[in-house]
């Protein structure tokens, strides 16, 4: 074998072992099933170019099916999708009827889905109102404003843009197939990929929008009647079935009811999202993550693993915590370990074992949620503990700042303080409205918001703490008193107080809203009333604690109060530092190196080198500053 031949062999072997892009594979199979009628009718070729394309595509499908078989570590045997791919190629070579081709492509798609557990559903309810404006902006130029395929750019395009009102074509397309086409485009045509222009939610919304344009008003209305009468016991009332089943398949399996329901659910997908389980979402994303990792796509695997926690388990973790705190902790540790294995490029077997462990824990969590509704006592105590725990940090900051302003006879500064926390509450209300009706906040964006807010609060706390501590030095204290407190406390300090008040409160409001949303879904009937009672009790506890802090801090001499408050600010800064780093790690922004160390949530202590290192560094800095000022104070006194 000469050098050139060896190089060619090496490259071909590498290509054969390359990971298959499952999305494109599924898109290709779907394309063959839908477009084959344009190549062959009644056993005769009606378009040579289309037929040659079908031959090329089926050959690619066979090659990639064998590669997928290898990715499953089954090189010695053939999976059913390999035999189906070869059968599909044979049918095309013999110019068989389109109905038979479609039957095989649908079966092949289901086989691949069964083997690989591909994520085939949107994570949020598609917004068809937004989709319509996206369609006009991105699609109408070719497909026409109403979807008839007669846009201003349609003339001369080969193949012609799809007419989304074509009933025959509508009944042969799956929503997942439409989503793949929008995401990846179609090679050799004017249909471009929109994966870089539109996010996943928008692409799914567009798929649902164009996938229901051919639904008649009668089908939609009859489907609505069936849905209202029978709801989720109907055969197509499953999101995965809705996105992966063609309308014709629903018609064949379930008769006219299947046809009507598919039309209604494609037009009103939100009805399927009312009871969508975050745990189902988490399990599906773990499966997708394993698949991506096995295919060699480490980045996608990590992204799915992160979404499984942030957009799945985290939304329900406080419900689990109410009935089995140990299980909640085990799931968090298992999912963190799984993500770290992916980041470390661990062996496939290790990743697979850990993913199985995570799936087992998620299944146990699902069983708990399904078998145990939130009792009145659990709803009351859970609501109270969440608000007290989340509100205490903000309260300590606000109360300490208020006491400082009162003791320094700067009550006019209370206006700044009130502007800060009141603004945080108002923005928190708008955040809740936005999360419900306007925007879907991803888990990563939530954690990033919390993390950045915590780190900003840390910086401001350190600044205020240093400022307060500097005044405890004897010489500085005398200068501070002689220069008058009113002049010494500058407007910059006042705005820093307002900013700290805002950040401390908004971070806790933001997190509390998320926790209560998850609990409210699980609470049923009187448990919702108990939740409200728990919130009210917690608010009373926080008011009492605030009053006690103000009352007893007023008894301290002013200089000692400054010293105590500065230490308190340093402690809070260290706590916020730990929580900020942990939130950014959960969002995937910062890396995480876990270590064996106790986890103490209330103190912001989490077992990772990054968070503990930052906290240790702040502690060392605070000690150096404290003893540096103290030594300077002693020197001044002796002088």
Find tokens 């009373």 and name the residue. 540
Strongest mean pLDDT among 27-36, 258-267, 474-483, 577-586 = 258-267
State the CB neighbour count (10 A cutoff) for residue 222.
Answer: 18
Q: Which residues pair with 523 in a beta bridge?
A: 374
Better pLDDT: 4 or 626:
626
Q: For residue 545, which of 397, 378, 416 has the smallest C-alpha distance?
A: 397
Q: How far is CA 12 from the centre of its chain?
A: 39
Return the percentage of the chain with pLDDT > 70, whole number.
75
Phi, psi for residue 127 in degrees, rounded to 5: -95, 100
| Listed range (280-289, 483-492, 546-555, 620-629) with the worst mean pLDDT | 483-492
Instruction: Please give the Cα distance from 438 to 302 (Å, whole number).
Output: 28
Measured CA distances, 632 to 139, 260, 329, 557, 635 (Å): 71, 83, 47, 22, 5
How far apart are the C-alpha atoms of 146 and 143, rounded to whole Å?
Answer: 8
**pLDDT tops 60 at residue 550:** yes
Within 471-557, residue ranges assigned H as helices are 474-482, 485-488, 491-522, 526-553
Reported as a single tens digit per residue, the pLDDT across 105-131 is 888 887 777 676 567 788 778 888 888
Please report which confidence band the pLDDT of residue 485 belongs to, taking 50, 70 and 90 as the band edges: very low
Query: Three-state DSSP class for 605?
Result: strand
The residue to which tokens 């096995």 are assigned: 294
For the question of whether the overall pTM of this predicted structure is more than 0.75, the answer is no
pLDDT for 487:
45
Give residues with Cβ within 8 angstroms of 448, minimum separation 6.
Answer: 583, 584, 587, 589
pLDDT, position 533: 87
**Helix (H) or strand (E) run with residue 131 in it:** helix 128-138
Distance in angstroms (rounded) separating the CA atoms of residues 121 and 621: 50
Radius of gyration of the chain (CA): 31
40 sits in which H/E element: strand 40-41
Indicate the range of 15-24, 125-134, 617-626 predicted with least confidence: 15-24
Say what the pLDDT of residue 167 is.
Answer: 93
Phi, psi of 96 (to 5 degrees): -75, 170
* Spatial CB neighbours of 155, under 8 Å, sequence gap ≥ 6: none
Res. 164: pLDDT tops 90: yes
Reported as a pLDDT band with limits 50, 70 and 90, residue 73 is: low
Say whether 374 sits in a helix, a strand or coil.
strand
How confident is the model at residue 15, as a pLDDT? 39
| pLDDT at 226 > cutoff 90 | no
Is the pLDDT at 439 greater than 50, yes or no?
Answer: no
Percentage, residues of the chain above pLDDT 90: 10
Beta bridge partners of 539: none
User: Would you say how long the chain is, in residues?
Assistant: 639
Give the tokens for residue 474: 């004897």
What class does CATH assign to 278-371?
mainly alpha
Give the SS3 label for residue 594.
Answer: strand
Query: Within 10 Å of residue 256's Cβ, how many Cβ atoms?
Result: 11
Mean pLDDT score across all residues of the chain: 77
Least confident of 105-114, 324-333, 464-473, 531-540: 464-473
What integer pLDDT is reported at residue 637 of this predicted model? 45
Q: What is the pLDDT of residues 495-506, one digit of tens each?
A: 777 877 887 787
Q: Is the pLDDT of residue 340 over 50?
A: yes
Q: What is the torsional sign of CA 209, 214, 218, 223?
A: negative
Looking at residue 371, its pLDDT comes to 55
Compute CA distances 64 → 17, 59, 85, 93, 225, whole Å.
10, 9, 9, 18, 44
Q: What is the pLDDT of residues 171-191, one digit of tens each?
A: 988 998 899 889 888 777 888
> Taking 60 as the threshold, does the pLDDT of residue 373 lie above it?
no
Start-to-end Cα distance in the chain: 91
Query: Measured between alpha carbons, how far is 188 from 517 in angstroms, rounded to an integer?
Result: 47
Residue 239 pLDDT greater than 60, yes or no? yes
Over residues 190-208, the pLDDT tens digits come to 888 888 888 888 899 999 9
Dmax (CA) of the chain: 108
pLDDT exceeds cutoff 50 at 480: no
CB 172 within 8 A of CB 102: yes
Residue, of 285 and 209, whose pLDDT is higher: 209
């Amino acid at each position: 074998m000469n050098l050139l031949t060896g190089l060619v062999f090496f490259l071909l072997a590498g290509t054969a072992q390359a990971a298959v892009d499952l999305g494109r594979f599924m898109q290709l199979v779907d394309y063959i099933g839908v477009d084959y009628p344009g190549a062959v009718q009644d056993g005769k070729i009606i378009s040579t170019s289309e037929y040659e394309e079908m031959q090329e595509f089926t050959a690619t499908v066979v090659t990639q099916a064998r590669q997928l078989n290898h990715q499953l570590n089954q090189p010695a045997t053939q999976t059913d999708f390999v035999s189906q791919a070869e059968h599909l190629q044979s049918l095309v070579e013999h110019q068989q009827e389109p109905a038979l081709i479609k039957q095989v492509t649908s079966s092949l798609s289901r086989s691949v889905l069964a083997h690989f557990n591909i994520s085939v559903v949107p994570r949020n309810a598609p917004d068809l109102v937004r989709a319509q404006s996206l369609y006009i902006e991105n699609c109408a130029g070719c497909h026409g404003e109403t979807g008839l395929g007669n846009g201003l750019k349609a003339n001369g395009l080969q193949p012609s843009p799809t007419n989304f009102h074509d009933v025959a074509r509508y009944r042969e397309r799956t929503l997942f197939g439409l989503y793949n086409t929008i995401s990846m485009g179609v090679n050799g045509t004017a249909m471009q990929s929109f994966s870089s222009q539109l996010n996943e939610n928008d692409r799914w919304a567009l798929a649902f929008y164009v996938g229901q344009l051919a639904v008649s008003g009668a089908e939609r209305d009859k489907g609505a009647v069936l849905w209202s009468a029978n709801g989720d016991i109907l055969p197509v009332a499953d999101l995965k079935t809705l996105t992966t089943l063609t309308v014709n398949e629903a018609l064949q399996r379930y008769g006219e009811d299947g046809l009507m329901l598919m039309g209604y659910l494609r037009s009103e997908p939100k009805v399927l999202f009312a009871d969508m389980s975050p745990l189902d979402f988490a399990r599906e994303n773990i499966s997708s993550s394993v698949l991506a990792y096995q295919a060699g796509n480490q980045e996608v695997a990590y992204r799915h693993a992160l979404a499984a926690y942030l957009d799945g388990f985290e939304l329900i973790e406080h419900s689990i915590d109410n009935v089995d705190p140990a299980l909640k902790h085990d799931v968090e540790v298992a999912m963190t370990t799984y993500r770290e294995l992916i980041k470390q490029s661990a062996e496939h077997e290790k990743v697979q074992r850990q993913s199985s462990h995570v799936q087992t824990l998620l299944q146990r969590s699902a069983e708990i949620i399904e078998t145990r509704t939130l009792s009145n006592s659990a709803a009351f105590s859970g609501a109270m503990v969440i608000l007290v725990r989340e509100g205490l940090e903000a309260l300590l900051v606000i109360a300490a700042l208020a006491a400082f302003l009162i003791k320094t006879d700067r009550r006019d500064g209370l206006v700044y303080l009130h502007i800060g926390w009141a603004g945080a509450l108002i923005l928190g209300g708008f955040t809740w409205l936005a999360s419900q009706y306007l925007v879907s906040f991803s888990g990563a964006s939530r954690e990033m918001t919390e993390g950045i807010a915590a780190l900003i609060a840390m910086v401001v706390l350190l600044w205020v703490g240093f400022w307060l501590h500097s005044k405890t030095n004897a010489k500085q204290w005398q200068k501070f008193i002689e220069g008058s407190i009113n002049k010494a406390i500058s407007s910059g300090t006042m705005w820093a107080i307002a900013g700290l008040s805002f950040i401390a409160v908004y971070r806790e409001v933001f997190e509390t809203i998320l926790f209560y949303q998850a609990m409210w879904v699980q609470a049923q009937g009187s448990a919702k009333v108990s939740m409200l009672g728990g919130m009210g009790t917690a608010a009373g506890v926080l008011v009492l604690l605030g009053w006690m802090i103000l009352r007893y801090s007023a008894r301290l001499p002013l200089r000692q109060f400054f010293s105590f408050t500065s230490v308190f600010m340093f402690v809070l800064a260290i706590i916020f530092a730990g929580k900020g780093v942990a939130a950014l790690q959960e969002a995937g922004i910062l890396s995480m190196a876990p270590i064996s160390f106790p986890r103490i949530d209330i103190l912001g202590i989490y077992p990772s080198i990054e968070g503990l290192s930052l906290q240790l560094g702040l502690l060392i800095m605070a000690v150096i500053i404290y003893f540096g000022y103290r030594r300077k104070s002693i020197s001044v006194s002796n002088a």
